[in-house]
Structure 1
Amino acid sequence: MNFKSIHIGQIIEQGVAESKIELQRICNFFKCTEKEIKQMYQQESLDTETLLKWSKLLEYDFFRIYSQHLIIYAPPSAKQKTGKTTLPQFRKSIYTREIIDFILEQISTGEMTRMGVIKEYGIPKTTLYKWLIKHKEKVE
């Protein structure tokens, strides 16, 4: 999975193929035509309401793909934010299995060095080295 360049329509199409849901059922669920469904597969992004419906239909959290993108490509700011907010606060330092595998793959294929990963993604050095020790066979 390439978390840098997300084409959500293609990912949804892949999910539909794997789940083997009939196109007619999808059309009924969305109350639209086959042509409109196929157009969604071609779109790089979809509105949140549509994406939520796809998530429910395919029983897969497509929003998490975007969360993974934020974890990798928008590390927490070094600046302390001042002031209070009413928005919910989430920890960005929670790395999923997919993120760890992605990072380790970058190192094992030689696309990035360890220091490059630390600088590019803002992953703490100790965290990266713990991953390397724990998942040694994937890096070799």
Structure 2
Amino acid sequence: MIDMQYIYELEAELDVMKLSENYIEIKSLLQQSPQEQWSYEMILVYARALNYLQDYSDQTDPFEQAYVLLQTVADKGTSDADWHLIMASVSFNLQLYAEAVQHAEQANTIIAGCADDMLELYSQYND
């Protein structure tokens, strides 16, 4: 059974860490709790941390790990600009340029202009 109070407290702590962009602590904190208890927001934060940290110490590709993790919540992410922005960045880092452009365009559809910088960069690679 999922302890919702624990989840709420963990999400509040993560919100503070997100403001300071402390991705090392975010990753560490989330690794201490079972992944099956992570909320949608926690998955997004962890995927973003993997994308920024690029830590290969556990011998797994952090971009691939983030990509797979984001796929687990794709049903919720289809209408979420943040999900598309993170997926665009992860896809770009995996050299999936056409997919990165698609996610950036979808993010822009949800929130106008939020991925303009990404699209400018990604379009150089998507030929």
Give the TM-score of the pair, scaled to structure 1.
0.30
Specify which structure has the bigger relative contact order, considering alpha-carbon pairs within 8 angstroms and separated by 6 or more residues. Answer: 1
Give the TM-score of the pair, scaled to structure 2.
0.31
Higher helix share: 2
Task: Name which one, 1 or 2, has greater alpha-carbon Rg.
Answer: 1
